[in-house]
Amino acid sequence: MNEQKPGFAVSSFALLVIAFLQVPVIVVVLAGFSETSYLTIPPQGLTLRWFGEVLTDPTYLSAIRISLILAVSATLASMVLGVAAAYAIHKKMLPGSDAITSFLMAPLVVPSVVVGVALLQYFTLIGWRGSFLALILAHTIITVPYIVRSVLASLSGIDPSLEEAARVLGANGPSAFRLVTLPLIKPGLVAGALFAFVTSMENVPVTIFLASARQTTLPILIFSSVEMGVDPSVAAVSTLLIVATAVVLLLAERWAGFHKFV
């Protein structure tokens, strides 16, 4: 049987490209353990000093805390708003579902930096500049399309007769949704929430225009400290983020088969 399979040359090239994708990750991790105060690769001597410095530095701790609070709040808000809207669109409760979906996806089409400056001007006008709630609102706007998209994808894979069966057996609309539909879309919801969380956690182009000095998030801190020069504590905090990302990705893969939703 003459099957189309990647040959040796194609496979080796592809593996090299996949290796290229991991290079900066490996470099950052190695740099985080370096003993010298300037960044060298390969590291000269191994030390955990920079990790200690990051975990005791109030600037880093505050940035990590603010990033986490912001990402969790925005993700939760997006989940509530996004699941409700996606369910209504899926059930075609309103006319013009396609147009509504396009509108809900619009924050993905407009470049983030434009969303950032637009919200900067708007929040300045209405006096919300510097408010943490306004920052959560901004992150909700940029994360909600991911929830809507993955929940819509999950909903379209559900057999509608399941919810009907629940209704016939006496469940009302809300409980049929909670007992039947919600558990079925859980993998898609988990994947969408993870995407939303990661998007919020790494956002610079919107946050940098809106966050006051006391609201500096972790990516903003790294982004602006790199302009001052490279320092191994940046590599250390980045290594912590790399490990956290890897753990979350593997857990999401086990729970929800994450790769199917990307």
The interface with another protein within residues 129-148 (CB under 8 A) comprises: 137-138, 140-141, 144, 148
Q: Is 230 in the site for another protein (CB under 8 A)?
A: yes
Q: Is 35 in the site for another protein (CB under 8 A)?
A: no
**Site for another protein, residues 11 to 30, rule: CB under 8 A:** 11, 13-15, 17-18, 20-25, 27-28
Q: Is 213 in the site for another protein (CB under 8 A)?
A: no
Q: Based on the number of CB atoms within 10 Å of its own CB, is 195 exposed (0-12), middle (13-18) or buried (19 or more)? A: buried
Q: Is 245 in the site for another protein (CB under 8 A)?
A: yes
Give me the least distance between CB of 150 and another protein, in Å please.
14
Site string for another protein, 53-72 (x = CB under 8 A): --------------------
Q: Is 50 in the site for another protein (CB under 8 A)?
A: no
Question: Taking contact as CB under 8 A, which single stretch among the options 6-14, 49-57, 158-166, 180-188 is the one that binds another protein?
Answer: 6-14
> Which of residues 58 and 229 has its CB atom nearest to another protein in the complex?
229
Binding another protein (rule: CB under 8 A), the pick from 113, 182, 247, 251 is 113
Task: Report the number of secondary-structure helices (H) and strands (E) in the chain.
Answer: 12, 0
Would the CA dihedral through 207, 223, 194, 60 be positive or negative?
A: negative
Give me the least distance between CB of 107 and another protein, in Å please.
6
> Which of residues 22 and 156 has its CB atom nearest to another protein in the complex?
22
Give me the least distance between CB of 218 and another protein, in Å please.
8
CA-closest candidate to residue 86, choices 20, 18, 149:
149
Q: Based on the number of CB atoms within 10 Å of its own CB, is 96 exposed (0-12), middle (13-18) or buried (19 or more)? A: exposed
**Residues 38, 16: Cα–Cα separation, whole Å:** 30
Give me the least distance between CB of 41 and another protein, in Å please.
4
CA-closest candidate to residue 237, choices 24, 31, 23, 70:
31
Q: What are 228's two structure tokens?
A: 């001052």
Binding another protein (rule: CB under 8 A), the pick from 46, 48, 61, 88 is 88
**Residues 66, 224: Cα–Cα separation, whole Å:** 16
Q: How many residues does the chain have?
A: 262
**Site for another protein, residues 175 to 204, rule: CB under 8 A:** 194, 198, 201-202, 204
Letter string b/e over residues 216-244, b meaning 16 or more CB atoms within 10 A of that residue's CB: bbbbbbbeebeeeeebbbbbbbbbbbbee
Binding another protein (rule: CB under 8 A), the pick from 176, 235, 236, 256 is 235
Number of residues that bind another protein (CB under 8 A): 92
Give me the least distance between CB of 148 and another protein, in Å please.
8
CA distances from 55 to 61, 68, 104 (A): 7, 15, 39
